[in-house]
A and B are shown apart, each in its own frame.
Chain A
């Protein structure tokens, strides 16, 4: 063999081996804890690492079951098994979701403990190609009793081709059975019929024409009802998935009366249930596979996309609605207004108007916005949606007439812009009403406040009378009673002045002052009430026990007599006199503070060395000088 031949042989060899090199990526195995969305359990699978990405390849098993949970209470278990090819779920797949409990009865068979379980099981079985269902998929929900299938509560059989449902399908539960068919492109076609297992004649049929639902026929107890949905099958429309949104559109389309018929309809509930189960599998499969697993039940529906103007308009409507609704809620729930409307005709009228506006304009506006949030608006003409929300036509506001909301049945086609105009007008009008009512309520609140203040003042005055009476029953010098009586007269004259005032604002202001003032007067009364006791307290405090050797008894003796005499003979009369001289409210607080401070100083001076002070007090009769000597200053003086 020549060198040239050797080289050719090597090159050919390399080219021959290359695909094997590429294909023979190393396959890894994973076996252990695995988490997929809300599912946690143990998994076994194979995978390659390609460009740092995990690529699933080969058998995939993921399950969870807890014997402990089962024995103690209930076990929520699952089991998923299938196959992957280059990260796509491909091949036969099986899903099982269980909720089992056991009666804790067990037996041993072939060296294994066998425990019977009861509960619910949902099974899904079918073939996938590149993540999409292909061939027949059977979804079963069944009840298990002692490890045996007791009854099947739900079963759906659907044929797919590359993810697109084909031919006929069958969905059944314990009572009903739905049979229908699709075109090759997955679009609903022909008659979908729901048979009742119990009533032979009862049936519900949806008639599709290449995805457009023409009508619904309901036969019940020998009577047949036909509900037209989209009789015009020539519309181009938009192809959408038969999902919850489609069902919502249908409900809205049918209106309140007919919607209830299909809301109770078995077709709708079976389709919804089926949708729910398929979504559960979709959540799992799309979590591990590149392609989404969604049953492509398709329908066609008229489509009126929102233009830019309409989108902006809807934003503005949302804004007006938010503000208008807030005003309505605050006004209608205001207890003051609720009470005021009983006595004020204007408030009553405005309240009723707000109520009307709230029901006939604001709430429907909210409904329009809700449809927008649910993305339902593009599937209806604007007139249709407006007429659905306002059955009697778009109302208008007229503040010159009563009632203010005019319900106009108009054949004129209405647009979203008309709704925006209404929302704007409504908000503006409600703002005005709010302003008017706020003024009314404020006045009412002020009046109420005045009443509250008056009650308070009366009770304060009564308190002074109670104080005076409590004095009379005691053996208290008359001077104190006279002083208290003066305070009471003082308060009463202030109250008379208040009563004679006309201006409400001024009256309210004065009442607020008086409440504070009367509080101070009550405090003065309380302080005076305490004075006799305080004097006794001071008297006792300034007594010394002295041993008299001539009587062999202990005698009490007054000490620091000049201080106690100045307190008793000069200061106390001075305090009482000050109160009697029509003490002002501001001075009341100072007075109370002076009396308290004096009392406090009397306690302190007992312990202090007061020789000098006593000398200075000799023959002193001026209360202000005595207070100064006692180091008691009115508060404002201290601040200076």
Chain B
């Protein structure tokens, strides 16, 4: 009998506690989704072979954003400079480590704050490639350590970590394999999570769903264009979700400046 009484008391206490919390603040019943913003990203990806197993990653992205008058390309939003040194472990795995300087433009026309602030990152990524039939599948884990600051004058840098996982496929359309003069389709999904002191209730930074259509000009040059839908929690309020429609243009180039005699034997790596 005594035992039953004790369980009963605990139950009452728990119930009364939850009633107490509810009574403190009225939490939002549902998430709020902002109107989608249209954007245009022009991305160049350079993979410059510098040794048998090392390459230099040099990416520059130009990101535009709509204004009230102009969709997609109304104003410059960010300019990316992403660099790293990559290591080709095998045909199916490579990893890179480097830094990013992102220039963030203030896209709020009413803001009295600074127009341009830098953002610094250290990043490393692990890329796994999986051939399947005539297609290629890729898993990319990218971890970024970023220091950001607000546009307000004298803002301090906030430190956050980003945890990114991307799953991508490349499907050749007019050729049995991904070879020069091949059109391909590339569906892609990336989940970006974040953590850090400023992250309160908004760890889900972005989910990007992207489909692109590409053309391999040569083994060293590929062009692609696609459309991407993305959504994620705003940092300041986890219940508010931003949405974007981004038109993306990609230029992939991979020059190899090594001398011919060094280049030839290293192609197949471990084969």
Contacts and interface: CB of A to CB of B under 8 A. Distances in A.
Interface of A: 544-557
Contacts of A545: 267-268
A546 B258 CA distance: 13
Nearest to B57: A549
30 contacts: A544-B264, A544-B267, A546-B219, A546-B220, A546-B256, A547-B91, A547-B269, A548-B216, A548-B222, A548-B254, A549-B47, A549-B86, A549-B88, A549-B94, A549-B254, A550-B45, A550-B47, A550-B252, A551-B136, A551-B178, A551-B216, A552-B94, A552-B127, A552-B129, A552-B138, A553-B91, A555-B179, A555-B219, A556-B219, A557-B219
Nearest to A547: B267
A543 to B, nearest CB: 10
Contacts of A547: 49, 88, 91, 219, 267, 269
A547 B218 CA distance: 11
Given A548-B220, A552-B91, 19 more contacts: A546-B220, A546-B256, A547-B219, A548-B216, A548-B222, A549-B86, A549-B88, A549-B254, A550-B252, A551-B170, A552-B92, A552-B127, A552-B129, A552-B136, A552-B138, A553-B136, A553-B177, A553-B178, A555-B216
Interface string B7-41: 00000000000000000000000000000000000
B81 to A, nearest CB: 19
Contacts of B269: 547
Interface in B219-271: 219-220, 222, 252, 254, 256, 264, 267-269
A594 B170 CA distance: 46
A555 B178 contact: yes
Contacts of B170: 551
Contacts of B219: 546-548, 555-557
B34 to A, nearest CB: 33
B204 interface: no
Contacts of A555: 178-180, 216, 219
Q: Is the interface of A mostly helix, strand, loop or mixed?
A: strand
Nearest to A549: B47
Interface string B44-67: 010101000001000000000000
Nearest to A557: B219
Contacts of B218: 557
Given A545-B268, A555-B219, A550 B254 contact: yes
Contacts of B49: 547, 549
A548 B49 CA distance: 10
Q: Is the interface of B mostly helix, strand, loop or mixed?
A: strand
Interface centre among A549, A553, A555, by most chain B C-beta atoms within 10 angstroms, is A549
A546 B178 CA distance: 12
Contacts of B92: 552
Contacts of B264: 544
Given A549-B47, A549-B94, A552-B129, A557 B268 contact: no
Contacts of A557: 180, 218-220
Contacts of B129: 552
B55 A549 contact: yes
A424 to B, nearest CB: 89
Nearest to B256: A546
Interface in B94-133: 94, 127, 129, 131
A547 B220 CA distance: 9
A545 B271 CA distance: 13
A552 B269 CA distance: 12
Contacts of A554: 91, 267-268
B230 to A, nearest CB: 22
A316 B43 CA distance: 115
A104 to B, nearest CB: 82
A454 B179 CA distance: 55
B223 to A, nearest CB: 11
A545 B218 CA distance: 12
A486 B47 CA distance: 53
A213 B49 CA distance: 124
A550 B91 contact: no
A552 B137 CA distance: 10
A563 to B, nearest CB: 15
A548 B55 CA distance: 12
A546 B92 CA distance: 15
Interface string B134-178: 001010000000000000000000000000000000100000011
A554 B270 CA distance: 13
Nearest to B131: A553
A546 B179 CA distance: 10
Shortest 10 CB-CB contacts between residues of A and residues of B:
A552-B129, A546-B219, A555-B219, A549-B47, A550-B252, A551-B178, A545-B267, A548-B219, A557-B219, A549-B254
B219 to A, nearest CB: 4
A553 B220 CA distance: 12
Contacts of B86: 549
A562 to B, nearest CB: 15
Contacts of B178: 548, 551, 553, 555
Nearest to B269: A547
Interface centre among A544, A547, A550, A553, by most chain B C-beta atoms within 10 angstroms, is A550
Nearest to A609: B260
Nearest to A555: B219
